[in-house]
Amino acid sequence: MSEPLSGRRRLPRRRAVLAAAGVGLSTALTAALTACSAAGVGTTSQGITLTFSWWGNDDRAARTEQAVQLFEKEHPGVTVRTSNAEFGSYLQKLATQAAGGGIPDVAQLDYRQISQYAAGGTLRPLGEDIGNNTIRTSEMDRPFLRTGTYKGEQYALPMGRGITGYAYDSALYQKAGIPTPQPSWTWQDWATANRKIAALGLKSPDGRPVTGANDGGGNQDVFETWLRSRGKQLYAGQSRLGFTEDDLTAFWTFCDTLRREGAIAAAEDTAQAKSTETSPLGRRLAAADYTWDAPFPGYTALLGDAVHFAPTPSTDGRQGSYFKPSMLLGIGAHSKHPKEAAELVDFLLNDRRAGDILGFTRSTPPNRVIAARVAKTLKGPEREIYQYAQTMEQYGLGAPPTAPPRGDVAINRAFKRTYERVLFGLATPRQAAHELIEEARRELRS
């Protein structure tokens, strides 16, 4: 007996018990350790060191580094220490830095972080810097700037302007006799188009029927687009829901019915869609996929030039889409060099040469002059999304809402998994809507 017990398997017992505790302890660890890792800000003998962090792919990283180097050259004595991460880990890293007492001097932020970071005193209010023109905003749209505000105060500035639409296979649409979608097409037109495509009876490469589009029931963005087209909002201000249980029930019933008819993607395909490649359109299981403009070129790269970008459907001509900041830029509240940090922010957003270097790597630049300048050099799918944004702007879109409330990160996740209960028949649309609203209220209260 003693022989096997003294082997290496005894260790796991102790380790296992500790690990159980450890799971919770990592929480505490995080708080304890980040005190040491708080942004390394300090005056060096040569001058000033700024820290700047962002997330993104290699292309964005290379372009950002290049722009930063230009900034350093023009501001002798200022060194910018950059750090780049992948989106998922970036948000957690920034949150732990915030908990530990400070984020970097300049940080790229997600729309959903603004309220939490502003309310928690992590971000520096930018009113003063904008007032004395250290950060220029004259070439940006006022309503769009509002996306970086919390309780009326500007805390961050958008770095890119994104919009949603449907990437769709125009060849399939033609085959089914569906006219090219216009900004005025309605959700009913969209539903009919999906039914027509399903009626073609085509088979995907793995032998399953081709449907009209992906099932957007679990996507809070689709719901918001649908809701806004009906004159409502996701949030009323920054503390309450802007929709009722009936609204959500109607939306989920709409999606649920289409899916049951086979007009949109099947439940299992929706559940495993996590990227362009695994989306129903990417797997050629559907003719269209709801997506943001920035990832759209990925679809044409994967599926060919027949894929185009269609407007989101409207309700009686009223569009629900709006320009959303793909990411924002803020300054840490504890920055020791707020003036230089503000100069860097201004440089990244407004300098012509920085604009040329950065291009459309963060969607359309919010500075109109720079956007127009860079747009001239665009080709193919990138040109298409730029023109799409122009078309939608001319058609007329509602003003964007202010930054979502602090519970939005959790509500967004809840939205997806609560709809999954409808997808797999574990709840009716009404039951699920009731559940979601209960949970959302709890998140908004806390």
Residues that bind other proteins (CB under 8 A): 1, 3-5, 7, 9, 12-13, 16-32, 92, 95-96, 98-99, 116-117, 119-122, 206, 267-269, 271-272, 274, 406-407, 409-410, 413, 416-417, 420-421, 423-424, 426, 435, 442-443, 446
Residues 270 and 107: their CA atoms lie apart, in Å, by 34
Is the Cβ of residue 253 or residue 315 nearer to other proteins in the bound state? 253
Query: What is the Cα–Cα distance from 234 to 248, expressed in whole angstroms?
Result: 10
CB of 172 to other proteins, least distance (A): 21
Q: With respect to other proteins, which residue has the nearer C-beta, 28 or 152?
A: 28
Taking the least distance from each CB to other proteins, the nearer of 148 and 280 is: 280
Among residues 33 and 306, whose Cβ is nearest to other proteins?
A: 33
Q: Do residues 180 and 189 make contact, with C-beta atoms less than 8 angstroms apart? A: no
Smallest distance from other proteins to CB 53, Å: 17
Q: Are 158 and 328 in contact (CB under 8 A)?
A: yes
Q: How far is the CB of 191 from other proteins (least distance, A)?
A: 24
Closer residue to other proteins, CB minimum distance, 339 or 413: 413
Q: How far is the CB of 411 from other proteins (least distance, A)?
A: 9
Burial of residue 8, with CB atoms counted within 10 A of its CB: 0-12 exposed, 13-18 middle, 19 or more buried: exposed
C-beta of 22 vs 380, nearer to other proteins = 22
Q: How far is the CB of 29 from other proteins (least distance, A)?
A: 5
In the bound state with other proteins, the residue whose beta carbon lies nearer, of 311 and 407, is: 407
Please state the closest distance from residue 422 (CB atom) to other proteins, in A.
9
Select 189 or 435, whichever has its Cβ closest to other proteins.
Answer: 435
Shorter beta-carbon distance to other proteins: residue 324 or 406: 406
Instruction: Report, in Å, the least distance between residue 291 CB and other proteins.
Output: 18
Give dist(CA 219, CA 12) in Å, integer. 41
Which of 357, 394, 397, 362 is closest to 377 using CA atoms? 357
CB of 314 to other proteins, least distance (A): 31
Q: In the complex, what is the shortest distance from the CB of residue 51 to other proteins, in angstroms, rounded to a whole number?
A: 19
